[in-house]
Amino acid sequence: MKRRDKRKRAREAARSVLPNATETKMFFSANARALRHFIEYRGAPDAEPEIRKVALKVLEIMKDESPSIFGDYELESLPDGGNSTTTEHKKV
C-alpha cells in the first residue's frame, strides 16, 4: 500500500470515531443522471466505506424503483468483505 493511501485510510478511521460521525437523517432530491454519478463515484472500491454503504443502499432502492435506468449496475466483492458497484455505461 502506498504511503498516500495509508494516510488516507488513517484520516478515514479518525473521522469515524470523532464526534462528527454521528447519525443523521437526510432528505435530498436528484435526477437520474445525478444519482448515477453518485452511485458510480461513491460506490467505487476506492470510496470511503461509509459513503460506499450509502451509495449501495441508494442503488438498491433505485434498481427497485427504476430498473430500466439503474439495472446495468452490478455489485463486485472487495477483499475486505464489502461490495462496490460497476457498470459498463459510465458517465451517462
Set 15, 36, 42, 52: catalytic member:
42
36 an active-site residue? no
Give the Cα separation of 23 and 16 in Å (integer). Answer: 11
Question: Which amino acid is it at 47?
Answer: A
Closest CA to 87 of 49, 48, 35, 50: 35
Cβ atoms 85, 39 nearer than 8 A: yes
User: Residue 29's CB: how many other CB atoms inside 10 A?
Assistant: 6
Instruction: Note whether 56 and 5 are within 8 A (CB).
Output: no
Active-site annotation, residues: 42
